[in-house]
Amino acid sequence: MGFLSPWFFGGLAALGVPVFVHLLRRHVSVPMPVASLMFFAHGTQSSTRHRKLRNRWLFVLRVALILLLVLAFANPFVGRSTVDENGRLLLILLDNSFSMRAGSRFREAKREALTLLAAKPHAQRAQVMELGDRLEVLTQPIADDAQLRSALESIQPGDSHANFAELGRAIRASAETQRGPIDLNLFSDMQRTSMPANFADMILPGDATLVLHSVATGVTPPNWTVESVEAPTQLADPKDPQRSRVHAVVAGFGTPAAAKNISLVIQGKVVAMKKVDVPANGRATVDFAPLNVEYGFNRCEVRIDGDDAFPADDASTFVVRRSDPERVLFVHAAGDARSPLYFGAALSAGAQGSYILQSVAAEQTTNLDPARFTFVVLSNTSTLPPIFEHTMEQYAAKGGNVLIALGTDVFRHGKIPLWGGNVTDIHNYAGANAATVASVDFTYPALAQAAPGRANGGWAETKVFYAAAVVPGAARVAARLSDGTPFLLDRQLGEGHLLLLTSGLENLTNDLPLHPVFVTFIDHLARFLSGSERLSGSTQVDSFVQLRGSAEPVGEVSSVEVIDPDGHRPLSLSEARSVQSFQLRRAGFYQIRFANGRDAVIGVNPDRRESDLAPISEDVQKLWSGNSGREGQPVPAAPAKYRPVNLWWYVMLLALAAALAEMLLASGYMGTQREEV
């Protein structure tokens, strides 16, 4: 309790008034007449008796009235804790990343979080979040303990990779909208691999206090895991010695040298087992060949036999789809014999796919049905038979992919089939001014290279002599020439893709077919256009799968279907008709039916960084929590903030009550007051 205006306490001097009225004033009484003093004698009141207060209740009320008035003007207040309004927000973050499945980490973290929640003052607001690859908010800032507890108990261990950078970003964003300080309690195994490359990404806002509750105590347990698996997503010939093989890397984190049995499991059956010596805290590779799989989708798994501290990461799943070689339609100009030659050679040299190229002149395409081909290449064709062009448009709208390579014929006529636009200009780089492919988007699937390396992944060594200038419009430019001219464009048409190469494939308008990057480019391009890599293989948890080509489908709307590893359908019916992409959040095999009607089975594996259970060093943890340099000291409690609640009205109400009581009592006294002799 405080007094905002203590000077008003000077008003307490007014307390002397009732004292004077009730005590002193009694002495100055009016002399009472008597008939005679004959029987009277002089007497003096004793001091004690003399000063005895009269009308005590009235005196008490009057004193109380003055006291309350003085208190009211002194403006007292009580300091009410502001935790219930704009006070500290208790933020409980529970890490449910894949590594929390190790041992009893998740159970302990959850128990500690529940304990903290139970100890929370009832009025304090709290918010529960779970930390995976992103920060998921489970409750709003509320004080309802039951709801908070329910939200906390609903958190289950996931398969995502924790990302402290995402945590820092989300808290910083939250602090901009959330007024007041934040007490952030993170219950995690504090995995080192969850740290971003830049520590600054983890930094929390100034008014956030981070308290780390690490459940990874003691020595980091040794853990072996299947770090990576290279296997064909599509296999046409199991006896192909180059392609029918599985290459797995087994890694140990904090492990001694050990011999581990590695098994290859296809459709639930162990088909091969090999023993490898894994060096201490190192890696070992193991190959399984040939890969005898049946037609259709084969759910495969590379597994490390023998338990360790983290059994959940001992297997890596992937899917191999066995099918006959897929046919590719290559439409070229009548006099162009080079482009199908170069393209076919590159296609057959590709490591992943197995395709049969059917090249045909543009004039002979009238009766062809492109739906029988996995994708179509239009090379240097300025004109197509109208029936085939119409068929191609329907083919693309239903999900068919087409590569359009320009060439001298197109340059001459200026018309680009299917694309919806024409050549606006011809760039002639002949001679010493040959352009190069200077800007390449390696994230584009057809140009994907994990490590482009020297000379821009080989693209810088190519020379382009002629290139057509087109207006990109809504198309994505995946590569540009050195003068900025778009070299490779991608445009969505219905469910299908149209890829436009503004130069040719025939070694006349550029020397790309002569460079090794051409093989890689065609290989990736074929896989992208055929969509085979979307139909099988493996991917990481939290990656996205594009279910349909565009949000506004052309023609009849078809539903997509997703069946998760537990056999559930995570998409509702309305979502199945509208959703464009889906995030694979669980480890295991997902069955997917795309909007173009093609089925896929994909093996989803957790991020293998989660297998490294080593926690962040103590110093870094302290640095992060802002407690560096105060080793051994507990995190100081933030000074409690109080909101002054004014008591003026309450005191004045009491004063009013005292005044009323005084009036009633005083009227009673006055009504009976009379001379006392």
Partner 1 sequence: MQRFLDPAVLAGISSLELLAKTVVDGFVAGLHRSPDFGFSQEFAEYRAYTPGDDLRHVDWNLFARTERAYLKRYRGETNSHLMVLLDASNSMLYTSGSPHAGPPRKMDYARFIAASLFYLAIRKQRDAAGLIVFDDEVRDCVRPSTRLGQLSRLFAALEQAEPHARTDFGKPLRHFQNLLHRRGIVIVISDFYQNPEIIVQAMEPLKFRGNEVVLFHVLDPQEMRPMLKSSAIVVDLETEQKIEVIPEYVKTTYREKADAHVEQLRSRTRAAGMDYQLLLTNQPLDGALREYLSLRQAGN
User: Which stretches of the chain bind partner 1, using CB under 8 A?
Assistant: 26, 29, 31-45, 49-50, 54, 674, 676-677
- Looking at beta carbons only, is 31 or 636 nearer to partner 1? 31
Q: Give CA separation, 67 vs 9, 23, 72, 252, 350, in Å.
A: 9, 18, 9, 79, 97
| Least Cβ distance, residue 23 to partner 1 (angstroms) | 12
| Least Cβ distance, residue 19 to partner 1 (angstroms) | 17
- Looking at beta carbons only, is 32 or 637 nearer to partner 1? 32
> What is the b/e burial string over 220-249, where b = at least 16 CB atoms within 10 angstroms of the residue's CB?
bbbbbbbbbbebbbbbbebeeeebbbbebb
| Least Cβ distance, residue 76 to partner 1 (angstroms) | 39
Do 529 and 403 meet the contact criterion of CB atoms below 8 Å apart?
yes
Q: Residue 25's CB: how many other CB atoms inside 10 A?
A: 11
On the 0-12 / 13-18 / 19+ scale of CB atoms within 10 A, 11 is: middle
- Looking at beta carbons only, is 54 or 412 nearer to partner 1? 54
| Least Cβ distance, residue 53 to partner 1 (angstroms) | 12
| Least Cβ distance, residue 33 to partner 1 (angstroms) | 5
Residues 6+ apart with CB under 8 A from 530: 326, 328, 353, 355, 374, 375, 401
Do 189 and 112 meet the contact criterion of CB atoms below 8 Å apart?
no
- Looking at beta carbons only, is 241 or 671 nearer to partner 1? 671
- Looking at beta carbons only, is 44 or 156 nearer to partner 1? 44
Task: Order across the sheet with 296-304: list the strands.
Answer: 234-235, 315-322, 296-304, 258-266, 269-278
Q: Residue 263's CB: how many other CB atoms inside 10 A?
A: 17
- Looking at beta carbons only, is 41 or 450 nearer to partner 1? 41
- Looking at beta carbons only, is 36 or 198 nearer to partner 1? 36
Residues 6+ apart with CB under 8 A from 45: none
- Looking at beta carbons only, is 53 or 638 nearer to partner 1? 53
Residues 6+ apart with CB under 8 A from 154: 138
| Least Cβ distance, residue 64 to partner 1 (angstroms) | 25
Give the amino acid at 595. Answer: A
Give the amino acid at 515. Answer: H
Q: Mapping DSSP to helix (H, G, I), strand (E, B) and coil, where does residue 371 land?
A: helix
| Least Cβ distance, residue 22 to partner 1 (angstroms) | 13
C-alpha angle 121-125-129 in degrees, rounded to nearest 5:
115
| Least Cβ distance, residue 669 to partner 1 (angstroms) | 13
CA dist 119 and 140 (Å) reads 19
| Least Cβ distance, residue 72 to partner 1 (angstroms) | 35
- Looking at beta carbons only, is 566 or 675 nearer to partner 1? 675
Residues 6+ apart with CB under 8 A from 460: 436, 437, 438
Do 306 and 246 meet the contact criterion of CB atoms below 8 Å apart?
no
Q: How far is CA 434 from the centre of its chain?
A: 45
Specify the DSSP class assigned to residue 229. E
Please give the span between the terminal C-alpha atoms of the chain, in angstroms, as a whole number. Answer: 51
CA dist 588 and 312 (Å) reads 11
C-alpha angle 265-270-276 in degrees, rounded to nearest 5:
85
- Looking at beta carbons only, is 54 or 283 nearer to partner 1? 54
| Least Cβ distance, residue 30 to partner 1 (angstroms) | 8
CA dist 336 and 513 (Å) reads 14
Q: Given CA atoms 203, 209, 215, 218 in this order, what sign does their dihedral have?
A: positive
| Least Cβ distance, residue 38 to partner 1 (angstroms) | 5
- Looking at beta carbons only, is 454 or 674 nearer to partner 1? 674
- Looking at beta carbons only, is 42 or 122 nearer to partner 1? 42
Residues 6+ apart with CB under 8 A from 320: 231, 232, 233, 234, 235, 266, 291, 293, 297, 298, 300, 536, 537
Closest CA to 225 of 152, 282, 185: 282
Residue tagged 């090999």 (tokens): 274
- Looking at beta carbons only, is 49 or 122 nearer to partner 1? 49
| Least Cβ distance, residue 59 to partner 1 (angstroms) | 15
- Looking at beta carbons only, is 544 or 669 nearer to partner 1? 669
| Least Cβ distance, residue 645 to partner 1 (angstroms) | 47
| Least Cβ distance, residue 28 to partner 1 (angstroms) | 10
| Least Cβ distance, residue 40 to partner 1 (angstroms) | 5
- Looking at beta carbons only, is 56 or 239 nearer to partner 1? 56
Rg of the chain in Å (alpha carbons): 42
